[in-house]
Structure 1
Amino acid sequence: MRKIPQQQRSKELVARLVEATAQSVREHGMDKFTTHHVAELAGVSVGSLYQYFDSREDLVEALLEDVTRNLRTGLNTLVLLKTTDLRDMVEKSVHFGMGFLRADDGLAIELVRNWYRLPTQNVVRLLQDTLLDFMRMYLLKNPLANNPERLHIRSFIIANAIVFTMIRAISEPNPFITDAELEKELVEMVVSYLNA
């Protein structure tokens, strides 16, 4: 971001630009959205947009930060559920992930289809850290008999297996598996792995 907004009006303008970026990505896709279209949707001049963002890449980065904030809020709600049943915890987590990816009129799907060229490391790290928090909470009440000291390694493997499997399935133009089937299989995989 070129200029950090200080005044309330400037902060509102930046928020409008980020929301307009989301709308433009929904309508035109990652390859075809432009700063001109974003400015038009936000109701400002392109010059006003460039006061805060140097490029469309900066707009996408701000959009990803916004998506990450929303994801963090939802994940924090899940962590606070205080469930003690492993299967229930995994089911809720996987269901939340699928719901998050399917929500927002296709924005997440478009971002997912282009994840490999976006700065998504913060989103993936957030998912890994949240999963690790989940597993720590679960282990406080239900210690795993086999290698609880390997929790960090297991959470890394699980988070990446879930995230990238969901990304791959959701980005398929003609999916061969329903969301419900995918959720069921991911839950079985994770529960079996943690109980091994």
Structure 2
Amino acid sequence: MELQFFKDFDFTDFWSESSYSVRDYIEEFPDDEMISSIENELGYKLPASYIELMRIQNGGLVEKSCFPTTEDNSWAEDHVAITGLMGIGREKTYSVCGELGSQFMMEEWGYPNDGVYIADCPSAGHDMILLDYSKCGKDGEPEVVHVDQEDDYRKIFLAKDFETFIKGLKDEEEFDGD
């Protein structure tokens, strides 16, 4: 598969290999039919960079789990953390249409319906990473934002697109412990 995105990105040590990741995150590789079905269910066109990454590995826990911020939040003063990326599918607990996926977070936790929640955070539901379509429309290129349930669902801008978000993830060690 020739990459359109992530051409200069080294995925060595990006994914965290664990039985938990296999059990709860990693879906089968999505074909065009599955992608179309998921997009119809969610009501949003998924970014091409997200689809490309999910065709390399469809969801999973990540080693590089922190993204720098300029705003403090319920996690830290200078970054947010993610647990894993949700795959394109319905089978695994943490996939975009899974048991604890995007729809669940909006319906059960009251998260704003502004896009697709694609990454969970170590807070067990108290903050999430959103592909935010509120500025671009349902077929546009969404920004990536952190949504903090603990702070009245305040959004913190993280990246102009999904590829930039993935490339900006850092090792936890790069941040001072609180």
TM superposition score normalised by structure 2 = 0.25
Choose between structure 1 and 2: higher helix proportion.
Answer: 1
Which protein shows a greater Rg? 1
TM superposition score normalised by structure 1 = 0.23
